[in-house]
Structure 1
Amino acid sequence: MIAALAFYIFAAILIASAVMVVTSRNPVHSVLFLILAFFNAAALFLMAGAEFLAMILVIVYVGAVAVLFLFIVMMLDIDFVQLRQGFQRYAPVGAVIGAILFLELLFVFGAWQFAPDAAALRVNAIPADPSLTNTEALGLLVYTEYVYLFQVAGLILLVAMIGAIVLTLRDKPANSKRQDIATQVARGEAVVLTQVPSRAGLSTLGITRRKLPEQPKPRQVAHHGGHGHEHENGGHH
């Protein structure tokens, strides 16, 4: 009873936070709701017996990915008013695509049904070797039977990362300073080291301090009162 109640509570919070991620106007609030969704999904994985996936959600997604999103959103100066200017122009195209996706979901859920042996399956599957933990069994399965698919997924993520870097890379202006490593390494002039006597100062090398300009003297300001003139240097009324 307690497990079922906890499942419904975590699932409800997960769905609500996922909806708030999409509907929030402030992007910072969207990232914070995303972190809340990750925590609730980790709790559901933990209840299902997949403690490895739960820890991955907390450590990798919450501790790295979501925090990175939060820093990027807070550091970038994005003009959201300008981004929303073309919303009405592309609204019909977005509505058509949304309708197509909704129809596809209807077809999927309409043809979906439980497998005959689904009721007999346990949520927390026991590995073939009782001495192995759930994490060890998952590692053996991923890196033996599905090792090629795992490598293909890594290559796809690598291509996506390189594509994002290429799309966001902008040419720097001509007057920007760039580092020339070849010029720095191959120096044309030799550096001459001069031994300066102790407590001799920089004057022995011909380095003198520039004299500061003299400060202008303050002027006397006369204040006009109701009955006379008041001077700053002890004048009379």
Structure 2
Amino acid sequence: MIVQGLAFYLFAAILVASAVMVVAARNPVHSVLFLILAFFNAAGLFVLIGAEFVAMILVIVYVGAVAVLFLFVVMMLDINFGELRSGFLQYLPIGATVGVILLVELALVLGAWVIAPGAPARISAPIPPAEQITNTHALGLVVYTDYVYLFQAAGMILLIAMIGAIVLTLRQREGVRRQEISRQVTRRREEVVAIRKVPTGGGV
């Protein structure tokens, strides 16, 4: 238990410090690297509580895909961050106002927090032994029984966000040749093939 407690405090301390550095770092590449470090430490915390499947999903999906994608995008965009910071003080009052509003909303939510009447019964419900049910099976039972509608709603929100991102980035620009599949399929031989008779010793 002492080793688990020390590991918990170690992972938690590094996680909090790396999360702070994600926001405080001036270089966005460093922010992404600190974000990857935070994901790894969060995965370590999940392993400590016995949620190995969630830990592996966190490492594979977020570290292996999302964070690496952020890193490549930040490195390839070639953004002038000095120019972006030049107008920081101009938008500081608006950002501070939004931050205060969010803090007030969080305080109101936490102040009105109540425990559901059925929560104690669910907590005291018998839990099957760990050797009879796997971590993935237990997670599937919770997600696809108690929270199936919320799971489907999250999927719909992600689908709408993906469609919105595609629509926003799809631009029709002048002078850019685009592929037309229907025109390629329906074209005839006479339209694309030209037969020329080249004399002997001559060129085209």
**TM-score, structure 1 normalization:** 0.69
Offset of 1:128 from its aligned partner?
A: 7.1
Higher relative contact order (CA 8 A, sep 6+): 2
Q: Alpha carbons of 1:170 and 1:190: their partners in 2 closer, same or farther (altered >3 Å)?
A: closer
Unaligned runs of 5+ in 1: 195-201, 209-237
Confirm or deny that 1:207 pairs with 2:203.
yes
Amino acid at match of 1:191: V
Q: Alpha carbons of 1:23 and 1:203: their partners in 2 closer, same or farther (altered >3 Å)?
A: farther
Unaligned runs of 5+ in 2: none
**Where does residue 66 of structure 1 map in the other structure?**
67
Q: Alpha carbons of 1:102 and 1:141: their partners in 2 closer, same or farther (altered >3 Å)?
A: closer
1:1-237 alignment, distance < 5 Å: 1-106=2-107, 126-127=127-128, 131-172=132-173, 174-185=174-185, 186-187=187-188, 188-189=190-191, 191=193, 206-207=202-203
Offset of 1:129 from its aligned partner?
A: 8.5
Offset of 1:109 from its aligned partner?
A: 5.6
Please tell me the root mean square deviation across aligned C-alpha atoms, in Å: 3.3
Separation (CA, whole Å) in 2 of partners of 1:71 and 1:6: 32
Offset of 1:176 from its aligned partner?
A: 1.8
Offset of 1:182 from its aligned partner?
A: 3.6
Separation (CA, whole Å) in 2 of partners of 1:181 and 1:99: 52
Offset of 1:88 from its aligned partner?
A: 2.0
Question: When you count helix as a share of all residues, which structure comes out higher?
Answer: 2
Offset of 1:74 from its aligned partner?
A: 1.2
Offset of 1:102 from its aligned partner?
A: 3.0
**Paired residue secondary structure (2:191):** coil
Amino acid at match of 2:165: A
User: Is the 8 Å Cα contact of residues 127 and 134 (structure 1) preserved in structure 2?
Assistant: no
Amino acid at match of 2:55: A
Amino acid at match of 2:177: K
User: Is the 8 Å Cα contact of residues 31 and 69 (structure 1) preserved in structure 2?
Assistant: yes
Separation (CA, whole Å) in 1 of partners of 2:168 and 2:33: 27
Q: Alpha carbons of 1:20 and 1:129: their partners in 2 closer, same or farther (altered >3 Å)?
A: closer
Separation (CA, whole Å) in 2 of partners of 1:49 and 1:159: 34
Separation (CA, whole Å) in 2 of partners of 1:94 and 1:86: 12
Offset of 1:164 from its aligned partner?
A: 2.3
Offset of 1:110 from its aligned partner?
A: 6.2
Identity among equivalent pairs (%): 65
Q: Alpha carbons of 1:60 and 1:205: their partners in 2 closer, same or farther (altered >3 Å)?
A: farther
Separation (CA, whole Å) in 1 of partners of 2:131 and 2:14: 35
Equivalent residues, number = 195
Q: Alpha carbons of 1:108 and 1:2: their partners in 2 closer, same or farther (altered >3 Å)?
A: farther
Separation (CA, whole Å) in 2 of partners of 1:165 and 1:67: 20
Higher Cα radius of gyration: 1
Separation (CA, whole Å) in 2 of partners of 1:35 and 1:143: 29
**Where does residue 232 of structure 1 map in the other structure?**
none
Amino acid at match of 1:21: V
